[in-house]
């Protein structure tokens, strides 16, 4: 049963004291339906433009959300159509100087659904390749990625054309079991178990009650499990509301709780480990006696006589015993190889299971033939290979068991991240005056937006939010990698999953469920581990013909040795007394078949990428996939932004030079009145400084402005108190015909010499003052540039600031090449120019105006404290906002890529050496041959070796120079 509910309400539930409650008009607005509109906005070039557009739209009534994307020249607006319409919004954008056009097909745009699917039964890259190929052929699938190392698929599709069930069916049709892990929908979802249900009518009654609640998007019912899955808008409602509604329905006969988690990543891995352990255990129970009777007891006279005792003709007790013991191993314990072979051959992609099945069947059925012939003949002396088939399966199961144990450790990064969220939280109830009236312990999954949560010393922060009371040191190392505790006071943001060290904090929840930073990091790391590195294509190409080639080599080996025996091409004395030439040739053929290992090649890259991205996440460096991880090691040139990247990003006014006689307070009143309308960091610095002149006043309402205009990259102008005020750089003043006296020119030169930015102010076309603003260089910047130089990496500064300031900053940190007064498109062009010179270029930035360059670069690195758009555009996110992590990211990439190369060298060398040895290349000269069961053990060991080699990445330590840098205190919060 599936019930879909229309969105009836939109807004934020709120606590009585923080923040204040909404008015009745606002409550009415919340109950209106919403509409989404997408506008093309031409003319935006930087964050100031984006801020102006966002601010202008938000002034309109009925606006719920505004998202401005400078990179794509688009603005998305969610609004209540009864309060405002698309034309009004479009006209508002044009009124502030940008060309706006409504994109009509917004309503018809395709929704994108990202399904994560666990796939059971994949043995090697041939399996993963087959699944990926089938998924890509399903109508509506836009992209499909299958990761052998995680056993999962990530499918991006159009939900209007197909459902997740159809994806599962497509995978099932080619013989693999598929389970939905999750969907990447941009909404929160909760699963509740409802006790007290007797029939379907009860469930329908509950569904009807839930349908009437605001904010519910979708309800899905599994009546047989008494399970209700609810998708909802976190801004409007939450799980506690659902539980209350369910328990108040039906006169209180129902009880609702969070549905117990089953089938999670950790659970699945544990189940797989247990399955392989049990299979291995039973296999050894049968295989060890087979091995003993064929290899050990034959050298103990008493036991040998007993085993050689004949039953029928030449059939002995030992042969019957080995046949009986090996049969369950071959067909019951080893049935997974038959099933895997069938699936692989049906899909036209033979895999490791095919090799194992062919090898064990050859040994087993030849042994059966030999035994039956001995039973029917008084003269034929049989030689069986029952120990070969049973021991081969046992060793392969041992290898797979150790492999899944090791692979489980490669997933520990995500498991540890998911375990950061505490199980319970303390919910506070407040009265109208903000006093605590009640404390209640609840499951952390029941936290709703705008709840007030108490965090006691030694407890984990239960959700994202901000401090409304208290002060404490919070350890954020598990999220950001920052080793030192950060002090949190009223108004400071906190991240869910971090550790509260000493004080008590009251925080208001702002992001819960899938919106939380922890959930987003988990999704990013999961997605990164799904993405294939370019070097993986090498293994994919080999896997297509690897198994058929091995089968051909195996048959050729048998044929060559068989013919050599018939033609007496080698001395008969080389043949063991228990064999003839046919059996010797068969042994060589089986050994070749089972010693070749496609798994080692398939696991070489993904396991290293998984561990590498996990290690990066633990150190606050989020790497978006294998391609970014691989490309970063090739970086030869890094382009740095200045503000917020090389500098702290918190500009402050350091000096004011008045050129006319007027009160400093009056000067800043007029300047702040204009700059308060701008989102530029320098404007904010001026406004904050201006507030100091009115500290005795509670209100910061500035004089009214008219005809405000923002001139991109130059400044702003407006009319204040009937006087025209222009605030900007030298270019703007010259453009507006404002004369700049020599004293002002001299002061500008002085400020630029000190790496400061000079802002000119004119009133009624007369220059009245210059404001010097400083943004201090990060303490570690100079040392970081020096280390990059020692790593043979060239550093370049590209900034929108003036030449003087840019050169002063570059000189201070040790950068020789500077490009100043660069607009966003110029930054991107510079990156492309460097690429044209065959440089592999990385871009490090933090602002919206860095986004084009971040996208254009081979590797984009976003400072974690920067804007969401910059972080979205980047390939690597530096969570701590420390420049030293640029070095960590590149060094980790180099370390990981070396490990990938080592994995490939081992995998290829193993096969190149092992196959000839198994084929008997050493036998004529040394008499050395590999029994098939030894070859099987070698095959299992090869895969395990590759995984363990990747796991050694966990021992990665960043360069010692960075540790020395931290000890010197050259890092910034």
Please give the Cα distance from 805 to 50 (Å, whole number).
25
| Contact between residue 728 and residue 618 where contact means Cβ atoms under 8 Å apart | no
Please give the Cα distance from 545 to 658 (Å, whole number).
79
Name beta bridge partners: 115. Answer: 155, 183
The answer to whether residue 73 is catalytic is no
Please give the Cα distance from 215 to 9 (Å, whole number).
5
The DSSP symbol for 272 reads H
Three-point CA angle 299, 304, 308, nearest 5°: 140
- Environment class of 690 (CB within 10 Å of its CB; exposed 0-12, middle 13-18, buried 19+): buried
Three-point CA angle 808, 809, 810, nearest 5°: 90
Contacts with 290 (C-beta within 8 Å, 6 or more apart), sequence order: 322, 325, 326, 329, 386, 387, 390, 391
Contacts with 727 (C-beta within 8 Å, 6 or more apart), sequence order: 671, 674, 675, 683, 686, 715, 716, 717, 759, 760, 761
* 3-class state of residue 260 by DSSP: coil
Three-point CA angle 579, 580, 581, nearest 5°: 125
**Closest C-alpha to 709, from 9, 98, 65:** 98
**Closest C-alpha to 96, from 174, 39, 36, 180:** 39
Q: 3-state secondary structure string, 747-812?
A: HHHHHHHCCEEEEEEEECCEEEEEEEEECCECCCHHHHHHHHHHCCCEEEEECCCCHHHHHHHHHH
**Closest C-alpha to 75, from 48, 47, 101, 109:** 101
Count of C-beta atoms within a 10 Å radius of residue 825: 13
**Closest C-alpha to 641, from 335, 437, 878:** 878
The residue from 353, 641, 775, 850 that is catalytic is: 641
Among positive and negative, which fits the CA dihedral 456, 457, 458, 462?
Answer: positive
Please give the Cα distance from 341 to 352 (Å, whole number).
8
Active-site residues, by number, are 641
């Amino acid at each position: 049963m599936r019930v879909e509910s229309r969105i009836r309400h939109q807004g934020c539930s709120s606590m009585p004291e923080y923040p204040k409650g909404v008015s009745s008009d606002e409550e009415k607005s919340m109950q209106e339906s919403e509409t989404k509109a997408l506008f093309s906005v031409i003319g935006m070039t930087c964050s100031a433009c984006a801020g102006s557009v966002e601010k202008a739209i938000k002034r309109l009534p009925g606006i719920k959300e505004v998202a401005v994307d400078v990179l794509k020249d688009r603005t998305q607006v969610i609004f209540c159509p009864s309060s405002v319409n698309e034309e009004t919004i479009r006209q508002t954008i044009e009124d502030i100087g940008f060309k706006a056009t409504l994109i009509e097909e917004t309503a018809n745009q395709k929704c994108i659904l990202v399904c994560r699917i666990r796939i059971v039964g994949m043995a090697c890259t041939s399996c993963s390749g087959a699944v990926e190929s089938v998924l890509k052929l399903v109508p509506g699938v836009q992209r499909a990625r299958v990761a052998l190392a995680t056993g999962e698929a990530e499918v991006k599709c159009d939900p209007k054309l197909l459902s997740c069930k159809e994806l599962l069916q497509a995978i099932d049709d080619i013989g693999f079991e598929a389970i939905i892990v999750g969907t990447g929908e941009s909404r929160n979802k909760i699963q509740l178990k409802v006790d007290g249900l007797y029939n379907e009518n009860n469930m329908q009654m509950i569904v009807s009650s839930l349908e009437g609640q605001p904010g519910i998007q979708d309800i899905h019912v599994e009546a047989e499990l008494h399970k209700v899955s609810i998708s909802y808008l976190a801004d409007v409602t939450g799980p506690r509301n659902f539980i209350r509604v369910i328990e108040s329905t039906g006169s209180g006969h129902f009880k609702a709780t969070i549905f117990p988690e089953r089938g999670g990543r950790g659970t699945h891995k544990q189940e797989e480990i247990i399955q392989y352990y049990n299979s291995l255990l039973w296999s050894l129970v049968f295989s060890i006696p087979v091995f003993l009777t064929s290899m050990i007891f034959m050298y103990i006279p008493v036991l040998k006589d007993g085993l050689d005792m004949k039953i029928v003709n030449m059939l002995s007790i030992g042969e019957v015993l080995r046949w009986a013991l090996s049969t369950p191993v071959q067909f019951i314990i080893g049935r997974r190889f038959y099933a895997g072979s069938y699936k692989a051959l049906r899909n036209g992609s033979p895999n490791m299971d095919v090799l194992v099945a062919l090898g064990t069947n050859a040994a087993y059925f030849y042994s059966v033939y030999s035994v039956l012939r001995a039973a029917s003949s008084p003269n034929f002396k049989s030689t069986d290979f029952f120990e070969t088939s049973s021991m081969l399966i046992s060793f392969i199961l041992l290898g797979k068991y150790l492999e899944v144990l090791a692979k489980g450790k490669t997933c520990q990064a995500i498991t540890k991240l998911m375990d950061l969220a505490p199980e319970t939280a303390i919910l506070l109830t407040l009265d109208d005056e903000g006093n605590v009236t009640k404390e209640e312990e609840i499951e952390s999954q029941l936290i709703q937006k705008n709840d007030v949560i108490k965090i006691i010393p030694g407890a984990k922060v239960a959700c994202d939010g901000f401090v409304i009371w208290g002060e404490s040191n919070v350890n954020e190392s598990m999220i950001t990698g920052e080793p030192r505790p950060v002090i949190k006071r009223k108004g400071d943001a906190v991240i869910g999953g971090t550790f509260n060290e000493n004080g008590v904090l009251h925080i208001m929840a702002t992001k819960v469920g899938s919106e939380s930073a922890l959930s987003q990091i988990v999704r990013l790391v999961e997605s990164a581990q799904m993405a294939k590195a370019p070097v993986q294509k090498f293994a994919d190409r080999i896997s297509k013909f690897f198994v058929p080639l091995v089968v051909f080599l195996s048959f050729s080996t048998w044929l060559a040795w068989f013919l050599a025996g018939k033609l007496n091409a080698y001395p008969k004395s080389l043949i063991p007394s228990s064999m003839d030439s046919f059996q010797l040739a068969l042994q060589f053929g089986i050994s070749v078949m089972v010693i070749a290992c496609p798994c080692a090649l398939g696991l070489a890259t993904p396991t290293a990428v998984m561990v590498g991205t996990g290690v990066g996440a633990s150190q606050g460096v989020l790497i978006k996939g294998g391609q970014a991880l691989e490309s970063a090691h090739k970086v030869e040139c890094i382009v740095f932004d200045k503000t917020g990247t090389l500098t702290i990003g918190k500009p402050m006014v350091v000096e004011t030079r008045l050129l006319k006689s007027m009160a400093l307070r009056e000067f800043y009143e007029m300047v702040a009145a204009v700059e308060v309308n701008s989102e530029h960091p320098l404007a904010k610095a001026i406004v904050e400084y201006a507030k100091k002149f009115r500290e005795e006043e509670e209100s910061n309402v500035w004089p009214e402005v008219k005809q405000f205009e923002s001139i991109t990259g130059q400044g702003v102008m407006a009319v204040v108190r009937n006087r025209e005020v222009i605030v900007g750089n030298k270019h703007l003043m010259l453009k507006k015909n404002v004369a700049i006296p020599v004293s002002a020119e001299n002061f500008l030169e002085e400020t630029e010499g000190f790496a400061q930015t000079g802002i000119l102010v004119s009133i009624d076309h007369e220059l009245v003052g210059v404001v010097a603003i400083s943004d201090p260089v990060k303490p570690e910047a100079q040392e970081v540039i020096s280390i990059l130089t020692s790593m043979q990496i060239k550093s370049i500064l590209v900034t929108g600031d003036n030449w003087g300031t840019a050169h002063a900053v570059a000189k201070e940190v040790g950068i020789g090449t500077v490009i100043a007064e660069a607009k966003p498109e110029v930054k991107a062009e510079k990156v492309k120019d460097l690429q044209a010179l065959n440089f592999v270029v990385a871009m490090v930035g933090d602002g919206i105006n860095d986004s084009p360059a971040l996208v254009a670069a081979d590797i984009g690195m976003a400072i974690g404290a920067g804007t969401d758009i910059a972080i979205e555009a980047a390939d690597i996110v530096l969570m701590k906002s420390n420049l030293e992590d640029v070095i960590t990211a590149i060094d980790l990439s180099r370390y990981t890529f070396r490990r990938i190369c080592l994995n490939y060298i081992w995998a290829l060398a193993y096969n190149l050496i092992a196959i000839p040895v198994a084929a008997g290349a050493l036998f004529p000269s040394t008499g050395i041959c590999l029994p098939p069961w030894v070859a099987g053990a070698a095959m299992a060991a090869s895969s395990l070796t590759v995984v363990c080699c990747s796991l050694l990445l966990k021992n990665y330590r960043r360069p010692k120079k960075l540790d020395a840098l931290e000890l010197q205190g050259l890092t910034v919060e």
